[in-house]
Structure 1
Amino acid sequence: MNVLFALSALFPAITTVVAQEEIVGGVETAVGQHLYVSGFRRTKTGASSCGCSLIAPNVVLTAAHCTGKGRKFVSIGSHYKSGTKDGECIKVKQIIKHPKYHAKSFTYDFAILILERPSKFPPVQVSFDTVVPGTPTVLRGWGRTSSGGASSELLLEVGVNTISNDKCVKMLPGHTVNDAMLCAGGKLGEDSCQGDSGGPLTV
């Protein structure tokens, strides 16, 4: 499995590699099968308010816009949005934002979190391959299950197809869509939502 990194911002049934929210129209993931999926938290037992992906034993990938908001811990391998029932929670030692990150347009909305110690869970492989429009992908997260609604306490997933950036521009007038982004979604009622920002888009 490869992670493409869906830092999406929820627009009408569209997920852009930008800032994102939650899983709408999804189903609960199988317990113990996606242990690289992580949550960014303010405290060890608190709720994850952004998603992340373990990409090396002590390195986590997330959205740059998720940093700088008091989040200091990463929950790895947990099926739950909060608490310590499973998985592990590791403190963040260093945050590195992409040097070209632009907060208003969400361009290069990537950040690397260096953990204080290696995780015991296996990391996911990051893909640098070109993804053609129409590629089936999967979003996972604990975000809201409807716009403005409640977040999920359990890890959810939903399948979405990638969309060409040209089509994405037409679907998102007034928003920045460039080569640093990947669009996915397009099916009404099935997408990411608030709280899914920084989480993985996998193929």
Structure 2
Amino acid sequence: MKFALVLATIAAAVLAQDASPDNNFIEIVGGTEAAVGQHRYLAGLKASATGTSSCGGSLIAPNVILTAAHCTGHKLSYVVVGSHYLSGSSDGVPAKVVKEIKHPLNNPKTYANDVAILVLDRNITTIAPVRVSFETVPANVLTWVRGWGTTSSGGAQSSVLKEVSVKSWDNAKASIALAPNKVDATMLAAGGLKGEDSCQGDSGGPLTIEDAAGERLVGVVSWGIGCAVLNKPGVYGRLSTAQAFIQPYLPKT
């Protein structure tokens, strides 16, 4: 996973030397600062209401955040939705997490089905949820990832929201590139250009497609081998295979 805790620096240094999946909480490497006030559905998961974000997430309903399963169980009891900044909540909407629900088939060893739902203590009505898409994303599709993760493997987190565009991979080719780790059907690989990737602290954050059909969420940041390593894509939880789990939490239309 790509989770930015205090131990992330140590873990990232070790993981950079072997072929094990990076199970730290992840950040954007090689991207640019996102425009202030856009993509406000992004959420930062925090241990305290005014602390720094350790994982990312996306508002998918007024009181529901979609994140990575590996971001649960770490006492990240607060979220701030709509903030541009890593710390605090002055420009966002804070809420408390009252329930964490991991995908029932989540495998914490392989990161299969690495998606989870966070239920909030309030409805957030001033920020529109992102549209969730269960489309199957093929190879060579341009996608976007955003977060406050580290700007290099084991480095410091970004103080502002960053973004980078990455192209999707074929799962079989991604499995070869990331061997012996398997990119299974519940995963979506993207990236692999040296210098552009998600990294520690971006975990759980959104992978989106943005084209003439609009912006839509298709994945969540999950795991990788190091950060921004040439020909080694980052891996995301694929939402198309988690529809039965996610659909009940979406707004009824």
Per the normalisation by structure 1, the TM-score is 0.90
Work out which of the residue numbers 166, 171, 179 in structure 1 matches 2:177: 171
Residue type of the alignment partner of 1:122: A
SS in 2 for 1:168: helix
1:91 maps onto 2:124 in alignment = no
Q: Alpha-carbon deviations, 1:98-122, whole Å to 9, x = none? A: 0001111000011000000111210
Answer yes or no: is the 8 Å Cα contact 1:19–1:63 preserved in 2.
no
Unpaired runs of 5+ residues, structure 2, are 4-11, 210-253
Q: Alpha-carbon deviations, 1:159-189, whole Å to 9, x = none? A: 0000000110111001121000000001111
In structure 1, what is the equivalent of residue 106 of structure 2?
Answer: 101
SS in 2 for 1:61: strand
Q: Which has the larger radius of gyration?
A: 2
Structure 1 residue ranges, 4+ long, deviating more than 4 angstroms after superposition: 7-12
SS in 2 for 1:163: coil
Residue type of the alignment partner of 2:138: V
1:58 maps onto 2:63 in alignment = yes
Aligned-residue CA RMSD (Å): 1.9
How many pairs align?
A: 193
Answer yes or no: is the 8 Å Cα contact 2:25–2:71 preserved in 1.
no
In structure 2, what is the equivalent of residue 73 of structure 1?
Answer: 78
Answer yes or no: is the 8 Å Cα contact 1:50–1:66 preserved in 2.
yes
Are residues 144 and 8 of structure 1, via their aligned partners in 2, closer, same or farther at CA, if it must alter by over 3 Å? closer
Q: In the TM superposition, what is the alpha-carbon distance from 1:20 to its structure 2 partner?
A: 6.0
Are residues 8 and 46 of structure 1, via their aligned partners in 2, closer, same or farther at CA, if it must alter by over 3 Å? closer
Are residues 137 and 197 of structure 1, via their aligned partners in 2, closer, same or farther at CA, if it must alter by over 3 Å? same
Q: Percent identity at matched positions?
A: 53
Map 1:103-122 onto structure 2 (within 5 A): 103-119=108-124, 120-122=126-128
Map 1:137-176 onto structure 2 (within 5 A): 137-176=143-182
Q: Which has the higher helix share?
A: 2
Q: Alpha-carbon deviations, 1:99-149, whole Å to 9, x = none? A: 001111000011000000111210001110011100000000000000111
Q: Distance in 2 between matches of 1:25 and 1:177?
A: 23
Per the normalisation by structure 2, the TM-score is 0.73
Are residues 21 and 110 of structure 1, via their aligned partners in 2, closer, same or farther at CA, if it must alter by over 3 Å? same
Q: In the TM superposition, what is the alpha-carbon distance from 1:88 to its structure 2 partner?
A: 1.1
In structure 2, what is the equivalent of residue 199 of structure 1?
Answer: 205
Q: In the TM superposition, what is the alpha-carbon distance from 1:85 to its structure 2 partner?
A: 2.3
Work out which of the residue numbers 21, 36, 45 in structure 1 matches 2:41: 36
Residue type of the alignment partner of 1:31: V
Q: Distance in 1 between matches of 2:2 and 2:74?
A: 18
Residue type of the alignment partner of 2:99: Q
Residue type of the alignment partner of 2:155: G
Q: Which has the higher contact order (CA 8 A, sep 6+)?
A: 1
